[in-house]
Homo-oligomer: A and B are copies of this chain.
Amino acid sequence: MDKKAAKFEGVFPILVTPFDEKDQVDHDSLRKVVQFMVQIGVQGVTVLGVLGEANRMVDSDRKGIIKTVVEAAQGKIPVVAGTSHTGTASTAALSVMAQEQGASAVMIAPHKEPVSNQQKIFEMYKHVSDSISIPIVVQDHPASTQVQMPVDLLVRLVEEVEQVGCIKEEATPTGQKLTALFEGMQSRSVPVLVGLGALYGFFDLQRGAAGFNTGFAFPEVLLAMVRAAGQGNMDKLFELYTRFLPLIVYEQQPGLAVRKEIYRLRGLIAHNRVRHPGATIDPKTSEQLAGLLQRILPGKDLTKPISL
């Protein structure tokens, strides 16, 4: 798959990383997740994001996960690999490794330094770009990074770092930042995907987002939303958004417990375990989630793709 392969439009689910009872990566489940994504027709998948618990991995975990996902994707969809690291040389090294394993792109967020320095952030992306030949997704997610990237910096990255192929915009309020980005990108422009579990999905698509790069456990819904937006059918888009919003809201709460439980209920992962020190779902929350799913998707077989 060549560098152009990842178009960064549509839906790129952030994959969870399944773990077994011994807290080790469960590659069988991971393959199943990828196959499901191919089946429902997503435009690509992203591994090793925040929601993939990338921060709880050693490098060999990372490598094994990329390998499995690339193999399972069989070249049918591009695989984006998160390669953020607190050091520039290490970010580059992980990105080279991802490329070698067959990733079609890397996703990188800046990291917090004692004194924030936009020039250093620019240099980091530039250095990584010089080390690989696949595109870079610039992730702007201050809630996890504690780094604020002003529009000026993002525009500079797009204009001066050729391999930047996409911005993943997750700085709230996302609407204003999307509009500012679209106004700011003049000499060169890249698609902007949004995340945050699709919490602001309707509003972000209305503002011109190219799609979703997030972990909502029913990507079929996101696909339908992007389709509706593409057809200019805002009534349909709003209807879909409203119908699933209680679930979107419930799922995007801090922690990964709810999302992993849904993946389990969908038959895609064998265990709902969140890697320590993360917390796995508790019985009361599990029960509340089951009730919610019953309200939103009454009588549906969750293990099958949902048609909308």
Contact = CB atoms under 8 A, between A and B. Distances in A.
A114 B50 CA distance: 13
Contacts of A59: 58-60
Nearest to A60: B59
Given A254-B173, A284-B175, A246 B202 contact: yes
Interface in A171-196: 171-173, 175-176, 179
A283 B57 CA distance: 39
Contacts of A123: 276-277
Q: Is the interface of A mostly helix, strand, loop or mixed?
A: helix
Interface in A109-140: 113-117, 120-121, 123-124, 127
Nearest to A118: B150
Of A89, A207, A246, chain B has the most CB atoms within 10 Å of the CB of A89
A28 interface: no
7 contacts: A58-B90, A117-B277, A120-B276, A176-B284, A200-B249, A207-B284, A245-B249
Of A58, A94, A203, chain B has the most CB atoms within 10 Å of the CB of A58
A13 B251 CA distance: 26
A93 interface: yes
Contact of A24 (B89, B203, B241, B276): B89
